[in-house]
A and B are shown apart, each in its own frame.
Chain A
């Protein structure tokens, strides 16, 4: 079974540019989460999709961030325009839709974003 994949693994852009991150979850996983880790700090939740619907986007820092999950498969996270404080590692995770409590989330390797 293929794991969660993310693309690109690294991205270096200049302030004001646009970047789009992609996440391919494990096949059949309806839950998809985006997280971000700013250097030296905790991993923080950004948003949660259930299939193609946004279940919770309370962690999105501002309206420069736009996430989509067309067709309930892969997801993209666009940052436009990027600012210096957006630098960090962006993780994607997926899990089954589970009615019985917390289920394991499987994480991708992350995309390291550097904004100069």
Chain B
């Protein structure tokens, strides 16, 4: 079956620190991979995505590269800000499309000034 494993939180960083949130997946075929973010009091928003191996998704200074050989999609940002404090979810969608997302447990990030 399909599953996503992401690092347990919470993660607390100082402003301008480097961020990595690990995500690995198990899937049949070639899924699309996503990072969603949930800011306090809001719904989930798509942060970035990658649809095939070696693709790099990027948005708002965040990046993640689809690594088929390690079945990973780690989220990185070079310099976090207080406004990045949120819960981050790694997710996959099977290649067939129009199908439900499979999520990891979420990682809460707190950035302190």
Contact = CB atoms under 8 A, between A and B. Distances in A.
Q: Is chain B found bound to chain A in the same assembly? A: yes
B42 A109 contact: yes
Interface residues of A, number: 34
Contacts of B106: 37, 42-43
B105 A102 contact: no
Contacts of B77: none
Contacts of B104: 42
Interface residues of B, number: 27
B103 A99 contact: no
B44 A101 contact: no
A65 B39 CA distance: 28
A45 B92 CA distance: 12
A104 B49 contact: yes
A107 B32 CA distance: 17
A35 to B, nearest CB: 8
A13 interface: no
Interface in A25-40: 31, 33, 35, 37, 40
A4 interface: yes
Nearest to B93: A102
Given A31-B98, A102-B32, A110 B103 contact: no
B51 A43 contact: no
Given A4-B43, A107-B43, A45 B102 contact: yes
Interface of A: 3-4, 31, 33, 35, 37, 40-45, 48, 50, 55-56, 59, 91, 93, 95, 97-110
Interface of B: 4, 31-32, 36, 41-46, 49, 51, 89, 91, 93-95, 97-106
A-B interface, 6 closest residue pairs, ranked by CB to CB distance from nearest: A102-B93, A45-B100, A109-B43, A107-B44, A43-B103, A102-B32
15 contacts: A35-B101, A41-B105, A43-B44, A45-B101, A48-B99, A56-B100, A91-B43, A93-B44, A102-B51, A102-B99, A103-B97, A104-B49, A106-B46, A107-B36, A107-B44
